[in-house]
Amino acid sequence: MRVAMISMHTSPLEQPGIGDAGGMNVYVRNVAEHLASHGVEVDVFTRATRASQGEVVEVAPGLRVINCVAGPFEGLPKESLPTQLAAFTGSVLSFVRREAGTDGDPSSPAARAGAGHYDLIHSHYWLSGQVGWLLRDLWGVPLVHTAHTWAAVKNLGLAEGDTPEPESRRICEQQIVDNADRIIVNTQDEADALVTAYDAENTDLAVVPPGVDVDRFTPGSDRATERSRRELGIPLRAKVIAFIGRLQMLKGPHILLRAAADLIRRHPEQNIRVVICGGPSGTGMERPDELHDLAAELGVSGYVRFLSPRPPEELVSVYQAADIIAVPSYNESFGLVALEAQAAGTPVVAARVGGLPLTVTEGESGLLVDGHDPADWAHALESLVMDDDLRNSMSDVAPSHAAEYSWDVTVERMIAEYRQLVDRWRAHGCSEPDVALTSLASRDPSGSRE
């Protein structure tokens, strides 16, 4: 099986925690790598952001990343990416035609469209979904879509000062829901939200939870924890609360700072320290020093350590150095950070939103907080900071909970969905581009099926 994976707005090769790179990058890279290890050939198409990387990057046997030129390499904000949908799609088609056109008559309609080169398309995020929808009909293959976030859901839980997602995005997502052959969701709650907000059909949805690399994210020994703290410049005897992720209002790092400042004032004997690991993203790009300024305003700058984003092989030491990982997000479709933390034996205090109630076993591997009032967060964090026995028991349980999720299980479920779709598509005679193009022509201009 050959799969064209579309990840237009961010590359799986980018460092998570910088700019628009985050959990989706971790997801796409791990799914693609594990698909390849299961014998599925995967090409990930993404927008080129640097000339030095080259058009084709061989990541692993059976896995390539294709950098497609669409707009300037640098300086193009995420909000402007919709203007490059046509250019990006044209770049994808050009690459595939060059490869597929070498077989048979290069002037044939199939070679010109690139039909027959892939068995299936899997798009990620709404921009890629729009591209995947067009390629689906040009190539005559089924489209699988994973959204990662949904505009209608995000707008129901905005952080204070955050900008709502535009109606244009919600309309594009509705078109994807109406036209994709399968929507992969992380949780049943996400499936229910799609049925409510986008009138999705349950038969078009498949719940496939993400996984975690339990071989990389493992609990550290006391000696490993001490070494990690020395390397990161954290006092050995401190109580450490860490935040890992992109620095923007949606992820809630400011909630942690306010809650921690309260704890630091009330419990100076606990020697509480805060670690924030990540880079500005989204609205955080407008004020990259906002969290530093907030720490100074709260009078806790000396207790907060800001770390730059780091690759997984280095990130594990941050998890191991922490006593608690805070995930105060306003919206989180699943919560890979929470899962990685637990795999590393670190209990989690997370917001009760999105997929986090599934990711965190409340009272066993962590705590869940209703809402985003810093006072409530201070109370939840305090219960673990002050109770060593409770925190240590959660630390013992957390890895076994995380072990229930693995990328191999995720990918095996995904391959089953792929095969079912490909078999059904071929059984109904929809594998020829002319059939698909006829279908495209029969739709109304809104993009909905007749």
| Segments forming the whole domain that contains residue 354 | 222-402
Q: Does one domain contain both 374 and 257? A: yes
Q: Does one domain contain both 147 and 233? A: no
Region for residue 304 given its phi and psi (left: phi exceeds 0; alpha: psi -120 to 50; beta: otherwise): beta
How many domains are contained in the chain?
Answer: 2
Please check whether residue 345 is in contact with residue 398, taking contact to mean a CB–CB distance below 8 angstroms: yes
Distance from C-alpha of 293 to C-alpha of 301, rounded to nearest angstrom: 9
Q: Does one domain contain both 131 and 114? A: yes
Q: Does one domain contain both 414 and 398? A: no
Q: How many helices (H) and strands (E) would you count in the chain?
A: 17, 14
Is 154 annotated to bind a ligand? Reply is no
Q: Does one domain contain both 136 and 150? A: yes
Q: At CB < 8 A and 24+ separation, what contacts does 264-270 make?
A: 264/300, 264/303, 266/382, 267/382, 267/385, 267/386, 270/239, 270/385, 270/386
Is 342 annotated to bind a ligand? Reply is no
Distance from C-alpha of 303 to C-alpha of 296, rounded to nearest angstrom: 10
Whole-number Cα distances in Å, 215 to 24, 165, 315: 20, 37, 13
Give domain status of residue 265, yes or no.
Answer: yes
Q: Does one domain contain both 167 and 243? A: no
Q: Does one domain contain both 136 and 201? A: yes
Q: Which amino acid is at 277?
A: C
Give domain status of residue 434, yes or no.
Answer: yes
Is 2 annotated to bind a ligand? Reply is no
Give domain status of residue 107, yes or no.
Answer: yes
CATH number at residue 354: 3.40.50.2000
Give domain status of residue 94, yes or no.
Answer: yes
Q: Does one domain contain both 259 and 203? A: no
Collapsing DSSP to helix, strand or coil, 231 comes out as: helix
Q: Does one domain contain both 267 and 363? A: yes
Q: Does one domain contain both 196 and 263? A: no
Is 322 annotated to bind a ligand? Reply is yes
Please check whether residue 203 is in contact with residue 225, taking contact to mean a CB–CB distance below 8 angstroms: no
Both tokens of residue 154?
């995000």
Is 382 annotated to bind a ligand? Reply is no
pLDDT tens for each residue of the chain, 450 residues long: 999 999 998 888 887 666 666 778 889 999 999 999 999 999 999 999 888 888 999 999 999 999 999 989 887 888 889 999 999 999 999 999 988 774 445 555 555 566 678 999 999 999 999 999 999 999 999 999 999 989 998 898 777 777 889 999 999 999 999 999 999 999 998 999 999 999 999 889 999 999 999 899 999 888 888 999 998 889 999 999 999 998 988 899 999 999 999 999 999 999 999 999 998 876 656 677 899 999 999 999 999 999 988 888 889 999 999 999 999 999 888 889 999 999 999 999 999 998 899 999 999 999 999 999 999 999 999 999 999 999 999 999 999 999 999 899 999 999 999 999 999 988 886 654 444 333 433 344 344 433
Q: Which amino acid is at 413?
A: R
Q: Does one domain contain both 143 and 249? A: no
Is 21 annotated to bind a ligand? Reply is yes
Global pTM reads 0.84
Is 320 annotated to bind a ligand? Reply is yes
Distance from C-alpha of 11 to C-alpha of 16, rounded to nearest angstrom: 10
Collapsing DSSP to helix, strand or coil, 134 comes out as: helix
Is 310 annotated to bind a ligand? Reply is yes
Give domain status of residue 447, yes or no.
Answer: no
Collapsing DSSP to helix, strand or coil, 61 comes out as: coil
Is 16 annotated to bind a ligand? Reply is yes
Is 251 annotated to bind a ligand? Reply is yes
Is 20 annotated to bind a ligand? Reply is yes
Q: Does one domain contain both 434 and 385? A: no
Q: Which amino acid is at 194?
A: L
Is 72 annotated to bind a ligand? Reply is no
Give domain status of residue 448, yes or no.
Answer: no
Quick one: which H or E segment has residue 291? helix 290-298
Is 71 annotated to bind a ligand? Reply is no
Other Cβ atoms within 10 Å of 84 Cβ, number: 21
Give domain status of residue 70, yes or no.
Answer: yes
Distance from C-alpha of 312 to C-alpha of 280, rounded to nearest angstrom: 18
